[in-house]
Amino acid sequence: MKIINREIGYAIKALCFMVKEKEQIVTTSYMATYFNISRPFLRKILQKLNQVGVVESCKGKRGGFKLSLSAEQIFLIDLIKIFQGPIQLSGCYDRGQKCPLIEDCPVRLEIEKIEQNFIADLKKISLKTIIDREKYSLVQEKQ
């Protein structure tokens, strides 16, 4: 059970990179080469981030993406929601199908308490938190 899947991981990398470029437009070509990851995959990720307003796309030659929000305004929990949907730690493997305890499942009731703490913790983490924490910058990372 991981919090960060590949889409979210790439999104974080790309967004952190864009934070450093501030108002500049960056292309998926550049970042894909820079991070040595799949460009079409990164494109899909940024398209999604564009659709939800985290970044803004600029079409045409010399186009690309730039941030719509500041690092303080982008939270990890938002990225999780964008790429994985709402957090439902307590979600049942057969919810809505045949689980007979659907209303008052004792397991779910317990896990929902955990979920609240978990979400509260996640809400504290923004891109800024992450960037501030970096010892080795994404630039140094390349070497």
Partner DNA sequence: ACATAATGATACTTATATTGTATCATTTAT
Partner DNA sequence: ATAAATGATACAATATAAGTATCATTATGT
Task: Report the interface residues with its own copies, using CB under 8 A.
Answer: 1-6, 9, 12, 36, 76, 80, 84, 87-94, 98, 100-101, 104, 106-107, 109-111, 113-114, 117-118, 121-122, 125, 129-136, 141-142
- When CB distances are held under 5 to 8 angstroms depending on the partner's kind, the choice from DNA, its own copies, none that residue 125 binds is its own copies
For DNA, the closer of residues 47 and 73 by Cβ is 47
- Residue whose CB is less far from DNA, 46 or 76: 46
**Residue 37 CB neighbours (<10 A):** 17
Q: What is the DSSP string of 49-70?
A: HHHTTSEEEE-STT-EEEESS-
The CB-of-36 to its own copies minimum distance in angstroms stands at 8
**46 near DNA, judged by CB under 7 A:** yes
Q: Shortest gap between Cβ of 143 and its own copies (angstroms)?
A: 9
Q: Which does 3 bind (CB under 5 to 8 A by kind): its own copies, DNA, none?
A: its own copies
Torsion of CA 88, 90, 94, 96, to 10 degrees: -70
Give kind and range of the element (H or E) at residue 34. Answer: helix 28-35
Q: Does 47 interact with DNA (rule: CB under 7 A)?
A: yes
Q: Which residues are 65's β-sheet partners?
A: 26, 57
Residues of the chain by 3-state class (helix, strand, coil), percent to 5 = 50, 10, 40
